Structure 1
Amino acid sequence: MANAGDEFRLASSNISQDGRLPRQYSAEGQGAKMNISPPLEWYNLPQGTKSLALTVQDIDAPEPSGPLVPFTIWVVINIPPTVKGLPEGFSGKEEEMGGDYAGIKEGHNDLKKVGWQAPKIPGPGHRIEFKMYALDDVLGLGHKVTADKVLEAIEGHVLGEAVLIANF
């Protein structure tokens, strides 16, 4: 039995103790300090992990007609297990960073853009769910990667999940 300290987990040095997501990671930021992806790090990958996939969703986003439908902010796939985190502002820079980061692929969010894109949130009280999946395979999803395609493709390949919730 693994200790609680050994569990697969996801963290961010920039999400405050009370779980607040700072403004620079949203559409509410100022100038260049706006809509940048937050730093993330993960620990204790399950044995046999061949790649990691990440989905980030506003899980309190209402549809205009009423029900809550998760709004996808960011999708990232094929993160190699050798990578231990993504630095702040990583979105859109995987090629520049090179090395193990070069094979990482960002998908389309619900604003139909590639990369991190937080929506303008109408009011406080939204929870942003960062969910990291440890997979026993590398995903081959073609050109247009979406959260739905990822969730379908990982079925039966998930070795572990780590969740981080931030509040906006």
Structure 2
Amino acid sequence: MKTIKQLAAFATFLLASNAAVAAETGTAFKLSSPDIFEGQTLDADFVFKGFGCEGGNVSPALSWQGDPEGTKSFAVTVYDPDAPTGSGWWHWFAFNIPADVSGLPKNTTAGNGLPNGALELGNDYGAKGFGGACPPPGEVHRYKFTVHALGTVLDLDANVSNALAGYMVNANSLASSTITAVYHR
């Protein structure tokens, strides 16, 4: 029994030490934004224009730091797990963002701010690029803005499904960071 307690204490010490080193060296992979904040309501700029919503339909500025060693590319996704579809709702899926990129500007699209070589998939509104929040009236939905550091450049084209791309991103993710914002109407 004493050995188990000692092992547990040592494991706790190692975890705390690793967290402290990551904090000191800035190695923790972290997504940030001047436009969206954890648990906060999305601004009208990031709301869809259509389906009864009257927003600006632009993507927020995103930046990340502390990408792990071996990062070859990044993927950025925006996903609503609360959409009443049985499979959520993809608002944005960009991948093969070059490893030397550390963020995307506000209102990024394939012709505006998306780096060369990066690809965007179709969103669940049926268009390529970012599609803002527009949940059914009365319900609060969560919007998960996630960046993944990938150990490879994905061998996919811009016509694959979000499900297949999501599988490949998760299978090759070295680290990820998420900001979950909310919206309701």
Check the 8 A contact 2:46/2:132 in 1, yes or no: yes
Alignment of 1:11-160 (within 5 A): 11-16=32-37, 19-27=40-48, 28-30=53-55, 34-63=56-85, 67=86, 69-94=87-112, 97=113, 101-123=115-137, 124-160=139-175
- List, as ranges, runs of 4+ consecutive aligned residues in structure 1 with deviation greater than 6 Å: none
Q: TM-score, normalised by structure 1?
A: 0.83
Secondary structure of 1:154's match?
A: helix
Secondary structure of 1:163's match?
A: strand
Check the 8 A contact 2:27/2:68 in 1, yes or no: no
For 1:117 and 1:110, the matched residues in 2 are separated by 8
Q: 5+ residue gaps in structure 2? A: 1-17
For 1:89 and 1:155, the matched residues in 2 are separated by 25
RMSD: 2.0
Q: 5+ residue gaps in structure 1? A: none
Q: CA deviation at 1:16?
A: 4.5
For 1:40 and 1:117, the matched residues in 2 are separated by 15
Q: CA deviation at 1:130?
A: 1.1
Tell me the percent identity.
31
Flag the 1:55–1:146 CA change in 2: closer, same or farther, 3 A. farther
**What is the total number of aligned residue pairs between the two structures?**
157
Q: TM-score, normalised by structure 2?
A: 0.76
Report the structure, 1 or 2, having the larger helix content.
2
